[in-house]
Amino acid sequence: MSRNRWLLYPLSLVLWFGALPPEALARIKLTTLPVRERVEIQLDHPQIALVEEERIVPLVKGVNQLDFSWANTRIDPDTLVLRILAPPPDQPLEANVLSVSYPPGETALVWAVSANASGAARVRISYVLGGLGKTFHYRALAGRDEKTLELTQWLRVNNNANEAYDSAQVWAGVGERFEKPLGLSETKEVRLGHFPSVPVRKTYTCDPVEFGYLDGARDKLKVPMHYVVKNAGGSLGKEPLPEGKARIFQDDGKGGGAFLGEDRGAFTAPDDELKLYLGLARDIAVRRTMDRSERQRIAGNLYRYDVTLKYEIENFKDAPVTLDIAESVRQIRDAIRGGDNSGLDPEWRLGDGTLHNPDPEKSDADKLLFHVDLPPRTPDGSAQKQVHTLRLTLNNEW
């Protein structure tokens, strides 16, 4: 890029020599901009970038004035900082920043820098820059047996800051730093991480609150499928996995991958789980009905509700699977009462239904998660229907 295009470079250095008489003071532009010796761009913030650049600047003994302009770039002028780096031991030059001023009517500022001798000084300028956007995306390739998954993480950087860098070390907040040029209005994509043979499990889940009904009139729940990866073990878990779009494939046994779909993976901290949506399972049927709801007065306007939910489940797959059944106690309470008017958390206990051992790691005071093992379909193609019940007692309800 031509260095005569001043407005495309944030650093325009001008020397005012303090020894000149006042009438001779003028901005004498250098014929060649000092080249950037080093540039580092940090993209760990979601909206802005922190840029640090170092240049070698010629100084004269006395007071120098360094002029920095940022016309047509997206630099935040309130964040500009100049630091004079320590000189090498064999160089006697010492320099200090005395003051900063803003010429009226200009997108520029001037640092007054004192030097004890003439020579070259290394300066570091840092600033916040808008317009450098980043997105993460992933490629997930599941094995034929769907027991392991190859996860590849990519970073895409979009430069709309109206500034160009011939070379810059970039850090996205995760992964290793990498060095790339970044041109005007350019998009760069780099591979940040590659995680082969990551353990994965395929889940089938019904949750009337989160996923709803496939056929409400017939009480049939949706049963979405997910690949679930725990961000732990091996090279995973050292850093979070940022939010990003994931394209999901399965090994086709011919050296390629069959496309399964796309999902947007949520931010996944170390030891948390990344869930990738695969679509609805059409060969697992779940019918959920309210089998019983009885109310008994306890005292005054306080009542106890005895509730039984029934699940009729059929698995038409050739292989056994585990179905996860999720329920919200608050949603059950609100459904039988026609809405929550108390503002109080439900007070409840589990009864003697077949679903009475919720997953202790995935359940809390409101959400219950149960695991139900389903056998494969019979040789004649029919499913073995299972019937399960969830019994709850809700106390001290209005």
The answer to whether 315 touches 322, Cβ cutoff 8 Å, is no
Q: Is residue 21 part of a domain?
A: yes
Q: What is the pLDDT of residue 337?
A: 84
Q: pLDDT-based confidence at 25, cuts 50/70/90? A: very low
Q: pLDDT-based confidence at 340, cuts 50/70/90? A: low
What are residue 329's phi and psi, to 5 degrees?
A: -65, -40
Give 348's strand partners: 394
Q: Is residue 179 part of a domain?
A: no
Q: What is the pLDDT of residue 276?
A: 98
Give 324's strand partners: 205, 371
- 259-289 pLDDT, tens digit per residue, is 999 999 999 999 999 999 999 999 999 999 9
- 197-246 pLDDT, tens digit per residue, is 999 999 999 999 999 999 999 999 999 999 999 999 888 999 999 999 99
Check whether 29 has a pLDDT greater than 50.
no
Q: Which residue segment(s) compose the domain that 28 sits in?
A: 6-129
Q: Is residue 73 part of a domain?
A: yes
3-state secondary structure of 118: coil
Gap between the Cα atoms of 29 and 57, Å rounded: 13
Domain end position, chosen among 129, 161, 189: 129
| Beta pairing class for 321-328 and 367-374 | antiparallel
Gap between the Cα atoms of 145 and 133, Å rounded: 38
Mean local confidence (pLDDT), 60-65:
92
Q: Is residue 272 part of a domain?
A: no
Q: Is residue 275 part of a domain?
A: no
Give Cα separations from 277 to 68, 112, 199, 263 (angstroms): 50, 58, 17, 6
Mean local confidence (pLDDT), 62-82:
92
Burial grade of 388 (CB within 10 A; 0-12, 13-18, 19 or more): middle
> How many folded domains does the chain comprise?
2
Mean pLDDT for the chain? 89
pLDDT-above-90 percentage for the chain: 78
Q: Is residue 170 part of a domain?
A: no
Domain end position, chosen among 100, 129, 158: 129
- 74-93 pLDDT, tens digit per residue, is 999 999 999 999 888 888 89
Q: Is residue 224 part of a domain?
A: no
Amino acid present at 291:
D
- 92-142 pLDDT, tens digit per residue, is 899 999 999 999 988 999 999 999 999 999 999 999 999 999 999 999 999
Comparing C-alpha atoms, which of 124, 122, 123, 112 is closest to residue 62? 112
Q: What is the pLDDT of residue 396?
A: 86
Q: Higher-confidence residue: 13 or 389?
A: 389
Domain end position, chosen among 93, 109, 129: 129
Q: Is residue 117 part of a domain?
A: yes
Q: Higher-confidence residue: 52 or 30?
A: 52
Check whether 53 has a pLDDT greater than 80.
yes
